[in-house]
Amino acid sequence: MIVFFRLLKILRVFARYRLDQLLPANLPFAAKLLLLFFKLFPAPRLSRGECLRRACEDLGPIFVKFGQLLSTRPDLVPDDIVQELNHLQDNVAPFASEEFQRIVEASLGAKVSDIFASYEHAPLASASVAQVHTAVLNDGREVVIKVIRPGIQAVIEQDIELLLLVARWVENNTLDGKRLHPVEIVEDYRVTIIDELDLQREAANASQLRRNFLNSPLLYVPEIYWDYTRSNVLVMERIYGIPVTDMAALNAQNTDLKKLAERGVEIFFTQVFEHNFFHADMHPGNIFVSTKNPQLPQYIAVDMAIVGSLTREDQYYLARNLLAMFRRDYRQVAELHVQSGWVPSYVRVEELEAAIRTVCEPIFEKPLKEISFANVLLSLFRTARRFDMEVQPQLVLLQKTLLNIEGLGRQLYPDLDLWATAHPFLERWLKNRFHPKSLWRELKRTAPDWMEKFPQVPDLIFSSLQQLPLITQKLDALENDVAKRNLHQHRGRRKLIALVALGAAGYFLYQDMQGSAVLRDWIITDVSPSTIVLGAIGLLALWFRK
């Protein structure tokens, strides 16, 4: 019954914001019939993106998170809706401080007063799936305590089942449903949101990112206090910094905004290509700027629930793709897409090259500083989708992160030339990848595996040789089967020809009999067309018996 009332509320909100307008016009009749309920509500004077954003906000934190996930899928969601969903914020009403304290004490097995020298009862922040309070450890270190909302998992499972119900309906009852993959999107959301409920996973991500940038002037990641961290409780170092979007505060301390924007780009490429471990949720709410050295500003990152990585092959092909685009070598871009397996091997490289040139050439006519790196990548992926490119989840996550980084950089410093930073970085990375020292390091890394497997090589060779006769027999049997099928098909075709000839002969014979009394009396006194046809039938009959 609770699920039923929840479904009614979702339908009412969808109708209030007329989300049926997001569906294509060419719907099947049954779908149009079901959507008549929505027509009872007047269309709001809002854009379709704003309607969807407000619907997510009205339906609560789970739908807010789902809207945020949709904003990470520009390969499936139109640009205007993505831009509106990017404005979704986690301004969720906090739950009771007493409940927060009870969860902390139950998880850590001790009283709050025993663990912390002081503890702030009022929340510092409240988001969709968690709430944060500040505290001070007994040794004087300032920390923040993050706790998963009580009962949130049951709510998530319930809402996901309802979202799946809606997604299946859209997929089965709209003509574009299959192309939009709504069920796939909801399943991705399930994985993402369940991962976010495990704070130990987030803590592990934060520890790895902190280790990658330890003592770096570019990025600071707060320390995790593992003694006080559980699956539903996370205790980490408290940081002080300026929110990256607070331009007034950044200007007040005379921050070098050009350097800040360029360092953001450098952090991104360092994470993707050198560390292969990138913070994939770098929206403004998760990024701060240190106040220690405004002329050499340092970023501070929090909330590492979502991270991404690429395979070595994807790293290599992505770097080469970006450099080839920069040089306008569209042929190489097309070839790399096929070589990497991003598009099927049956795609003609010439056609893909022409499509990429059509998209990219107008973009590159602009000055480099006016070109959006992220939008070029987005256009490239969209073009490739026309050639049956499968959605690469890791590349979509990377693309979303790049959109965030570039948008943030342009906000800090409008004249940011991302290409000027990216181009030398990619050139240097590719050069180092094939440097003798890098190859030697890779050899040393894989040598233990080679040595472990090498003693097995003689046995594998001997075993393969023993299997050769059996393989040969199977191949011979397969060839015989193929030959028999071909013979059967050949005889089948001969039967078809005989039947067609028989039909034609009968037709001609009938025509002759209509005009010839001799034939009607079965006396053949002259060679007629029907005689020839009848002779042909006899020959076909003899041939058919062979």
**Which are the catalytic amino acids?**
281
Amino acid at 271: Q
What's the 3-state SS for 391-430?
CCHHHHHHHHHHHHHHHHHHHHCCCCCHHHHHHHHHHHHH
Distances (CA, A) of 496 to 17, 141, 196, 464, 500: 62, 90, 65, 46, 6
Q: Helix axis angle, 312-326 relative to 373-385, nearest 10°?
A: 110
> By the 8 A CB rule, do 69 and 194 touch?
no
Q: In what order do the strands lie in the sheet containing 287-289? A: 219-220, 299-301, 287-289, 242-243
Tokens representing residue 189 in the block: 């959301």
* DSSP result, 193-219: HHHHT-HHHHHHHHHHHHHHTTT-SSE
Distance from C-alpha of 98 to C-alpha of 438, rounded to nearest angstrom: 55
* Cβ count within 10 A of residue 372: 17
Which are the contacts of 378, defined by CB distance < 8 A and separation ≥ 6? 74, 75, 399, 403
Of 332, 282, 323, the C-alpha closest to 305 is 282
Inter-residue long-range contacts of 224-227, CB under 8 Å, 24+ positions, other chains counted: 225/137, 225/141, 225/143
State the SS3 of 103-114. Answer: HHHHHHCCCHHH
185 vs 66: CA distance, rounded Å: 9
Token pair for 422: 């990216």
Closest CA to 85 of 100, 107, 70: 70
Of the candidates 357, 364, 314, 312, which has an alpha carbon nearest to the alpha carbon of residue 336?
A: 314
- Phi/psi for 237 (5° steps) reads -60, 135
How far is Cα 378 from Cα 83, in angstroms, rounded to an integer?
A: 14
